[in-house]
Amino acid sequence: MNLAYLAPRAIRHFMPEKLADWMKRRNLIIKAGVETMDPFAAVNRYEAFFDTANISIQNKTLMVFGYGGNILTGCELLKRGAKQVVLCERQGFPFLKFNQEQLKNYPAYFFDQGDGPQPDPRYFQIVHDDIRTVAADHKIDPVDLILSSSVFEHLDDVDTITHALACLTKASGKQVHFIDLRDHFFKYPFEMLTFSDAVWKRFLNPTSNLNRYRLFHYEAIFRKNFKEVRIQVQESDQAAFLQVKERIRKEFLSGDDSIDSATLITVEATK
């Protein structure tokens, strides 16, 4: 029994989400995602992938699914050629407060109403709502490209949400998702795969939710919704995987260690 893993995991499971959000904002133990903490690094990673995949964002409408509350990700995408950016977050996510620094650094994308800068709606659309409702109610027009970083592993309904995102993608459009397959107690990247569904959900799953989907789960779901799907393993940790392989439950194993030891994947899906 790995108490060094179980004790912190149980604490995180029962921790109120408001406390977890407070700790994320202050970078105390629990870290927020790259879109929130370092939007420039997030956009640089997207751009590096675009270069290898021959994807252009010039004059296109983009959606950042799970933008983490930092509008600078959108600003940088606009600066690098996007026509408009739709920033999406979950229902109930706090709305942004804009400041003069943003207006100063990106004057083309904001206007000052006197009571503070506001994003120009010609460039930004900010949506805090369940993406399934957004798609069903046609709250936004379909976009050219949908992006996310370390969002999909937290979804509680991957199948339906992927379908909703497909509906919000133009007929000629694409999606690019960076998905972190690790247990987010990063010292033990595959430990979460050793527990039954009942034990995981009742005692160990963090309030941010880790759905524990593996590469082959995502591939099956995306292939149901897109004509072309390409999945790349960006990072893997075979040494850590082999240490716990005998304890990993069979539903998380494909039989191919090169697939099962993946820790970071990129999904490129085309309508």
11-37 pLDDT, tens per residue?
A: 888 887 776 666 666 665 666 666 666
First to last CA, the chain: 46
CA–CA distance, 154 with 17 (Å, rounded to integer): 14
Q: Which residues contact 225 (CB under 8 A, 6 or more apart)?
A: 162, 163, 166, 269
Mean pLDDT over residues 133-153, rounded?
97
Mean pLDDT over residues 229-248, rounded?
97
* Beta-sheet pairing, 262-270 with 228-236: antiparallel
With CA atoms as reference, report the closest residue to 35 among 63, 57, 78, 64: 64
CATH code of residue 176: 3.40.50.150
User: What does pTM read for this prediction?
Assistant: 0.92
pLDDT for res 23: 63
1-13 pLDDT, tens per residue?
A: 688 899 889 888 8
pLDDT for res 115: 75
Q: Are 174 and 148 in contact (CB under 8 A)?
A: no
Q: For the CA atoms of the chain, what is the radius of gyration?
A: 19
Number of domains in the chain: 1
Torsions phi, psi for 251 (to 5 deg): -70, -10
Query: What letter represents residue 17's amino acid?
Result: E
pLDDT for res 265: 98
Q: What's the DSSP call for residue 61?
A: E
The whole domain housing 109 covers 3-270
